[in-house]
């Protein structure tokens, strides 16, 4: 493999791994906020216990997402100096705003939420979790603004061999970012909904004592995941808006479209190969859509079955099916990410900066060492996250959880 291929592989592995944490964070933050809203308005202790249980899963995943995000940003500076020197003055502003949203506002209010149990009154505590959820959306929004610029560079001017921003509004309104943001947000709700439904099905299948707890959790998970599947496919379809003809041709598997895109690029930029690997892009697209179809059918079937309470508690085959569904949304978002990122090759900034020119001048042995270190670190973090999530999910709400004192287990809600 050439050095540029090694650098791309490193970025794909680190960004893809971080993306898995982000997707689940977006979904769980929304679900926890919705459940706590129900608990706060109704005063229902069961819904408050649900907030605590699912909130702890959210915190575990969020912590790992922060660590992987820091490491990923480090490797961008390590391997892609050409990109930051050429376009950092433009898309760097969006990354700076994401840092303010994620590392300052979101983290601060999440700390208030974690340590505010039994200290803040119920309305203040509810407001805090909604700030956490909204800043999670803001973080994802600014990341997609930065990525949208790489997909469809707007609002810039070339000045001395580097880009400078001239229209921040165009950067924010970029259709390559706006549509993708809603697509990603929908994917997060699907992942969070199916995780909640799958974990609930696990406990219902085991016939634990918390049947009502997990029956209601299953209803919420499926009730969120089903409409999210339709929002996801809608915004995903709109996102294929012909800003990159070669990607569209690869997605469709249309040789004529690919030939026309190649000819247009040669006429504009001179001789060269300007086509992405069509087989990879199309295969990832088929995988994403196939998984979407399975998830949609299962969610629809689950909505029908939930109308019959005996089936919710005793249909063990359905419970097993929901457990199996847990990893599928994550596979779908990775497939979609492959379509979006590999589909724009050989460009890092589409039409302006080729991937080979965006690299830091490093040697192949240096990149191999870097990949080995990053893969080992990320593999360890993913395994730890999986172990912690699975351990807490299996233990159920009866174990010590968020907001409960080990001395007085009777405390289950913020002070009213």
pLDDT for the residue numbered 221? 93
pTM of the full structure:
0.90
For residue 241, what pLDDT band results from cuts at 50, 70 and 90?
A: low
Q: Is residue 29 part of a domain?
A: yes
Q: How many CB atoms lie within 10 A of CB 3?
A: 19
> What is the pLDDT confidence band of residue 312, given thresholds at 50, 70 and 90?
low
Mean pLDDT over the full length of the chain: 86
- Domain containing 42 equals 3-244+276-395
Flag whether 408 is in a domain. Answer: no
Residue 264 within any structural domain of the chain: no
pLDDT digit string, tens, across residues 360-374: 888 888 888 888 888
- With respect to residue 400, please indicate whether it lies within any of the assigned structural domains: no
To the nearest whole percent, how much of the chain has pLDDT over 70?
Answer: 93
Instruction: Give mean pLDDT, residues 145-151.
Output: 91
Task: Sort strands 353-354 and 347-349 into parallel, antiparallel or unpaired.
Answer: antiparallel
Residue 36 within a domain: yes
Q: State yes or no: pLDDT of 347 exceeds 50.
A: yes
Q: Please compute the mean of the pLDDT values over residues 69-89 and round it to a whole number.
A: 81
Domain count across the chain: 1
Alpha carbon distance 357, 374 (integer Å) = 23
Classify residue 336: in a domain, yes or no: yes
Among 18, 44, 150, CA closest to 90: 150
- 259 in a structural domain: no
Residue 87: which of 153, 182, 9, 171 has the closest Cα? 153
Is 410 within a domain?
Answer: no
């Amino acid at each position: 493999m050439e050095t540029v291929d090694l650098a791309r592989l490193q970025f794909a592995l680190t960004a893809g791994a971080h993306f898995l944490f982000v997707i689940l964070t977006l979904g769980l933050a929304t679900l926890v906020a919705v459940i706590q809203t129900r608990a706060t308005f109704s005063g229902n202790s069961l819904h408050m216990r649900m907030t605590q249980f699912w909130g702890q899963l959210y915190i575990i995943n969020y912590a790992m997402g922060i660590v992987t995000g820091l490491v990923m940003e480090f490797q961008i500076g390590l391997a892609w100096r050409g990109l930051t020197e050429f376009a950092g003055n433009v898309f760097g502003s969006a990354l700076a705003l994401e840092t303010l949203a994620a590392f300052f506002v979101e983290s601060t209010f999440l700390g208030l939420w974690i340590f505010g149990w039994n200290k803040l009154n119920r309305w203040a505590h509810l407001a805090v979790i909604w700030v956490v959820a909204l800043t999670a959306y803001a973080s994802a929004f600014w990341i997609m603004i930065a990525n949208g610029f790489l997909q469809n560079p707007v609002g810039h001017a070339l000045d001395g061999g580097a880009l400078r921003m001239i229209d921040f509004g165009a950067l924010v309104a970029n259709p390559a970012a706006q549509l993708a943001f809603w697509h990603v947000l929908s994917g997060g709700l699907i992942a969070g909904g199916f995780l909640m439904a799958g974990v609930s099905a696990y406990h219902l299948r085991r016939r634990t004592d918390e049947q009502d707890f997990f029956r209601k959790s299953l209803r919420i998970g499926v009730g969120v995941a089903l409409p999210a599947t339709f929002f996801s496919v809608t915004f995903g379809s709109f996102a294929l808006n012909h800003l990159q003809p070669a990607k569209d041709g690869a997605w469709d598997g249309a040789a004529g479209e690919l030939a026309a895109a190649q000819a247009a690029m040669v006429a504009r930029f001179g001789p060269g190969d300007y086509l992405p690997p069509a087989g990879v892009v199309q295969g990832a697209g088929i995988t994403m859509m196939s998984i979407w179809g399975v998830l949609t059918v299962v969610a629809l079937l689950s909505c029908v079955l939930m109308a019959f309470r005996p089936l919710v508690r005793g249909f063990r085959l359905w419970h097993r099916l929901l457990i199996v569904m847990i990893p599928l949304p994550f596979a779908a978002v990775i497939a979609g990410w492959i379509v979006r990122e590999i589909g724009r090759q050989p460009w890092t900034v589409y039409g302006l900066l080729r991937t080979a020119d965006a690299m830091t001048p490093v040697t192949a042995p240096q990149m191999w060492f870097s990949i080995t270190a990053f893969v080992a670190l990320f593999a360890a973090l993913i395994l730890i996250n999986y172990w912690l999530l699975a351990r807490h999910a299996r233990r159920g709400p009866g174990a010590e959880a968020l907001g409960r004192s080990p001395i007085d287990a009777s405390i289950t809600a913020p002070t009213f």
